C-alpha cells in the first residue's frame, strides 16, 4: 500500500509562478554581491593555473565595480561597463584571495577559524546575475552568487564527507599505511555588515582547530571565516553537513569541500572541489523535484553504487520526508538523507528541507583515465521558488586553447501542461520526460557555452552544469528567495481604564495567527518577552526594571505552550492606576523571542498592537481645578490688614505700633 503525505502549502506556494523581473520579487538577480574563495587543491596545478573567474550575465548596459580585498588587506578595485545584453568575464589569481586550510594529516590549520580580510564585493548599476568559477588543474566547480538582498541570518551546511589518501607499504606481510593527503569537508562565512555576531554549532564533535561543537566570532563587513573538518587516520570521514550557522546580520554561506570523491567507494578515484552558495533556512521549501542529470558522453559506471547523490537536509526535528510516494522517513534537525539520483525524485516534506545534488566521480582507476565529469555541488530549487523566466550562463573560463568544459547542459523541471511553451533562446525545447506520479516533466537541453534565455508560460525549475575531462561544474540557474512558511502572529495589549487608586490588570493576548499549522510545524513551544509601560500612570505589583529618566517599566514574561490560539493570554500584569503625567499612556511588548524545546530560536514574524492605560476622573485643561499642576512653584505672599480691615501692605516695616492681621 502506498502512503501519500498530504502537505498544506501556504499561499506563498504561488510566489514562484511569476516573472521576478517584473514583479520585484527577491530572486537571484541583483546589484550587490559578496563572494569569498574557499580552499582548493593545487597539488596538480600551480599559481598560474589557479584562478577565480567572475561571469556577469547582463540584460542591458551596466556599470560594474569590484572591490577584491586580499589577505594583506590591500584592495584591488576594478570598474568596467558591460555595453549591453551580454555575458562578461573578469578573472583573479586565487593566490591572494583564497583561504588556506589543512592539506596534510596534522598539517597547519592556517586560516581556519580566524577572521580573515579576504572577500570580493560586487556592485552594479542594473540587475545582473553573477557566477563564479573556481579553477585549477582537474579540480573545478562553480556557483551562482546570491545578491545581498536575498541573504538571511540562519543557515545549514550541506557538503560531503571528508576523505584521506595513504601510501601503502608492508612489513613482514602486514600492510602499513602512511597518510599523505587529507580532503576535508568545509565552509566559508562572509559578513556583509560590521559587528556581525556569528554562532556556529557543528554537526560533529570537533573541527580541524579544536574539540567542541560551538564557535562564536564577531566579523566586520567583508571579513570571512573558514571552518574545516578534522581528518585523521582513525577518523577520516567527518562531514560538516547539518552544521547550523546563525548571524546577527545577513551572512554569505559558501558550502564547500576541499576535493571530494562521490560516492566514497575506494581510496583512489578522481576528485573535485565542491562550492555552492546556500540559501537561508527561511527560503527552503517543502516540495522539491530532482531530475537525474544528463550523463557525460563517455560515461562508464564502476558498479551499482557508483551514482550521483541527492542529499536532503532538515532544519528542525521530526521532519517527515516522502520520496516518490514511499513511506515517510523522519529526519531530525541537522540530519540528512542521501539517495541515489538515478531517476527523478519527487520529494515532499512536512517541514522545509534543503536539497542538493552531488555529482559522481567519473574515474575510478589508477591508470590516468580522464573520462568526462567529476563531483560538483548543485542546489536544487524548491517548487515554491520557481520562476517563469531565466537568463543563465554556461561557464567556460578557458579563453584560449582547448576548452575546460566540452559538454554544457541545462535541465528544467516544468509542468507537463506548460511544456509546449518552454523555449531556449527562442527555440522550442527538446522532448520532455514525464515524472511518474506527478504533473511535472524534466527536459534536458544540450547547449553551447555562454548566455541562454529560457522562458515558459508557467513557473519551472532550472539547473546548469557541464563536463570536461575529469572536470565538472554545476549550479542552480536561478530561483526566487521569498521567505516561506514563516508563521505570522499578531500580539495585542488590551486597553484598561480606571481612576487613580483603582486596582486593574493589563492583559496581552494573541490577536491573530497566519497559519496555526505552520506555527506548530516551526517547532516553537515557548514565547518570551517583556511588557513595557509608563510607571507614572500604572504601578504593577510585580518587580520592574525602571528607567528613572523616562519612568518606563519592564515586566518580563515567559509562556510555554503546546498549541497557541487566537484569544490566548500571553502576559498578565496586575497593579494600580495612579495620577501620572498624562491621562493616556502606551503599554506595549518588547524583546519577543520564540524558541523550540532545545532552545533554538524560531523565525516568527511578530506584530505588536499597543494598548492604552487611560486614567479617568482627572481635572483637564479649561475645567475648574484646585491648583494648576503646570504652574511653577512660588513662595506664598502675606497680606496685612489693620483692625478696621483696611489693607496696609505685604510687610509691617514702617507701620505705627498697633494690632494687625494677615491673610
Chain segment 459-474, per-residue pLDDT in tens: 999 999 999 888 899 9
Digit-coded pLDDT (tens) for 127-159: 999 999 998 888 889 999 999 999 999 999 999
Q: Which domains does the chain have, with CATH numbers?
A: 25-476 (no CATH), 488-615 (2.60.40.680), 632-663 (no CATH)
Instruction: Say yes or no to pLDDT of 625 above 60.
Output: no
The pLDDT tens digits for 113-126 are 999 999 999 999 99
Q: Is the pLDDT assigned to residue 657 strictly greater than 60?
A: yes
The model's confidence at residue 12, banded by pLDDT at 50, 70 and 90, is: very low
Provide CB contacts within 8 A for 451, sequence distance 6+.
57, 85, 86, 87, 391, 392, 393
- The residue ranking higher by pLDDT, 5 or 275, is 275
Alpha helix segments (H runs only) across 233-307: none
Q: What is the pLDDT of residue 204?
A: 97
pLDDT of residue 265: 85
- Higher-pLDDT residue of 108 and 67 is 67
If you compute the radius of gyration of the chain from its CA atoms, what whole number of angstroms results?
A: 33
Give the three cell numbers for residue 292: 537525474
SS3 452: strand
| 12: region left, alpha or beta (phi > 0 left; psi from -120 to 50 alpha) | alpha
Whole-angstrom distance, CA of residue 47 vs CA of residue 90: 17
380-406 average pLDDT score: 86
Q: What is the per-residue pLDDT for 6? A: 37
Q: What is the pLDDT of residues 180-216, one digit of tens each?
A: 889 999 999 999 999 999 999 999 999 999 999 999 9
Split at pLDDT 50, 70, 90, the class of 303 is confident
pLDDT bin (cut points 50, 70, 90) of residue 289 is very high
Average pLDDT along the chain: 88
- Measured CA to CA, the distance from residue 189 to residue 200 in angstroms comes to 10
Mean pLDDT of the 427-442 span: 97
C-alpha cell at 228: 574545516
Q: 385 to each of 26, 164, 226, 452, 543, how far by Cα in Å?
A: 10, 38, 29, 20, 48
| 43: helix, strand or coil | coil
pLDDT surpasses 90 at 275: yes
Nearest alpha carbon to residue 33 among 79, 70, 66, 69: 66
Residue 9, pLDDT above cutoff 60: no
Find the DSSP H helices in 469-599.
516-521
Residue 630: pLDDT band with limits 50, 70, 90: low
Least confident of 101-105, 319-323, 389-393, 540-544: 540-544
Q: Mean pLDDT across the stretch 521-527?
A: 86
C-alpha cell at 591: 524583546
Amino acid at each position: 500500500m502506498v502512503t501519500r503525505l498530504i502537505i498544506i502549502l501556504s499561499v506563498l506556494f504561488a510566489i514562484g509562478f511569476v516573472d521576478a523581473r517584473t514583479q520585484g520579487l527577491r530572486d537571484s538577480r541583483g546589484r550587490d554581491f559578496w563572494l569569498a574563495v574557499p580552499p582548493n587543491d593545487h597539488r596538480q596545478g600551480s599559481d598560474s593555473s589557479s584562478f577565480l573567474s567572475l561571469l556577469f550575465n547582463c540584460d542591458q548596459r551596466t556599470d560594474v565595480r569590484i572591490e577584491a580585498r586580499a589577505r594583506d588587506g590591500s584592495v584591488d578595485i576594478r570598474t568596467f561597463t558591460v555595453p549591453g545584453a551580454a555575458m562578461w568575464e573578469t578573472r583573479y589569481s586565487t593566490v591572494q584571495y583564497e583561504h588556506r586550510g589543512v592539506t596534510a594529516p596534522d598539517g597547519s590549520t592556517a586560516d581556519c577559524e580566524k577572521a580573515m580580510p579576504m572577500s570580493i564585493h560586487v556592485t552594479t548599476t542594473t540587475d545582473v546575475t553573477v557566477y563564479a568559477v573556481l579553477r585549477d588543474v582537474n579540480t573545478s566547480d562553480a556557483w551562482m552568487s546570491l545578491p545581498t538582498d536575498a541573504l538571511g541570518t540562519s543557515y545549514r551546511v550541506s557538503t560531503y564527507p571528508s576523505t584521506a589518501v595513504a601510501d601503502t607499504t608492508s612489513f613482514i606481510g602486514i600492510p602499513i599505511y602512511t597518510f599523505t593527503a587529507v580532503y576535508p569537508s568545509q565552509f566559508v562565512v562572509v559578513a556583509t555588515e560590521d559587528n556581525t555576531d556569528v554562532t556556529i554549532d557543528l554537526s560533529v564533535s570537533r573541527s580541524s582547530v579544536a574539540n567542541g561543537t560551538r564557535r562564536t566570532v564577531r566579523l566586520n563587513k567583508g571579513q570571512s571565516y573558514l571552518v574545516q573538518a578534522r581528518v585523521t587516520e582513525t577518523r577520516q570521514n567527518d562531514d560538516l553537513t547539518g552544521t547550523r550557522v546563525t548571524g546577527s546580520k545577513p551572512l554569505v554561506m559558501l558550502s564547500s569541500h576541499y576535493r571530494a570523491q562521490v560516492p566514497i567507494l575506494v581510496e583512489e578515484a578522481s576528485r573535485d572541489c565542491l562550492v555552492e552558495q546556500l540559501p537561508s533556512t527561511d527560503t527552503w521549501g517543502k516540495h522539491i523535484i530532482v531530475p537525474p542529470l544528463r550523463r557525460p558522453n563517455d560515461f562508464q559506471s564502476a558498479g551499482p553504487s557508483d551514482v550521483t547523490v541527492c542529499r536532503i537536509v532538515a532544519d528542525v526535528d521530526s521532519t517527515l520526508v516522502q520520496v516518490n510516494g514511499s513511506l515517510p522517513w523522519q529526519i531530525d534537525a541537522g540530519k540528512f538523507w542521501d539517495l541515489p539520483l538515478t531517476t527523478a525524485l519527487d520529494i515532499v516534506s512536512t517541514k522545509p528541507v534543503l536539497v542538493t545534488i552531488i555529482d559522481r566521480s567519473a574515474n575510478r582507476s589508477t591508470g590516468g583515465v580522464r573520462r568526462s565529469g567529476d563531483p560538483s555541488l548543485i542546489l536544487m530549487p524548491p517548487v515554491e521558488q520557481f520562476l517563469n523566466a531565466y537568463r543563465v550562463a554556461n561557464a567556460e573560463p578557458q579563453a584560449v586553447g582547448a576548452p575546460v568544459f566540452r559538454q554544457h547542459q541545462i535541465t528544467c523541471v516544468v509542468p507537463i501542461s506548460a511544456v509546449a511553451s518552454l523555449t531556449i533562446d527562442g527555440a522550442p525545447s527538446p522532448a520532455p520526460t514525464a515524472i511518474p506520479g506527478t504533473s511535472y516533466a524534466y527536459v534536458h537541453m544540450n547547449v553551447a557555452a555562454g548566455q541562454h534565455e529560457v522562458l515558459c508560460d508557467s513557473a519551472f525549475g532550472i539547473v546548469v552544469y557541464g563536463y570536461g575531462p575529469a572536470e565538472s561544474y554545476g549550479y542552480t540557474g536561478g530561483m526566487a528567495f521569498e521567505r516561506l512558511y514563516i508563521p505570522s502572529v499578531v500580539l495585542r495589549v488590551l486597553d484598561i481604564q480606571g481612576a487613580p487608586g483603582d486596582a486593574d490588570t493589563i492583559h496581552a493576548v494573541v490577536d491573530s495567527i497566519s497559519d496555526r499549522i505552520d506555527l506548530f510545524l516551526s517547532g516553537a513551544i515557548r514565547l518570551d518577552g517583556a511588557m513595557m509601560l509608563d510607571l507614572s500612570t500604572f504601578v504593577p505589583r510585580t518587580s520592574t526594571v525602571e528607567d528613572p529618566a523616562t519612568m518606563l517599566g519592564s515586566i518580563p514574561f515567559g509562556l510555554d505552550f503546546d498549541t497557541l490560539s487566537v484569544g490566548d493570554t500571553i502576559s498578565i500584569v496586575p497593579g494600580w492606576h495612579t495620577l501620572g503625567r498624562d491621562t493616556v499612556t502606551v503599554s506595549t511588548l518588547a524583546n519577543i523571542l520564540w524558541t523550540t524545546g532545545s532552545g533554538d530560536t524560531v523565525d516568527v514574524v511578530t506584530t505588536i498592537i499597543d494598548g492604552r492605560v487611560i486614567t479617568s476622573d482627572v481635572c483637564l485643561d479649561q475645567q475648574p481645578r484646585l491648583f494648576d499642576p503646570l504652574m511653577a512653584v512660588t513662595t506664598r505672599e502675606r497680606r496685612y490688614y489693620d483692625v478696621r480691615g483696611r489693607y496696609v501692605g505685604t510687610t509691617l516695616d514702617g507701620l505705627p505700633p498697633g494690632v494687625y492681621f494677615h491673610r
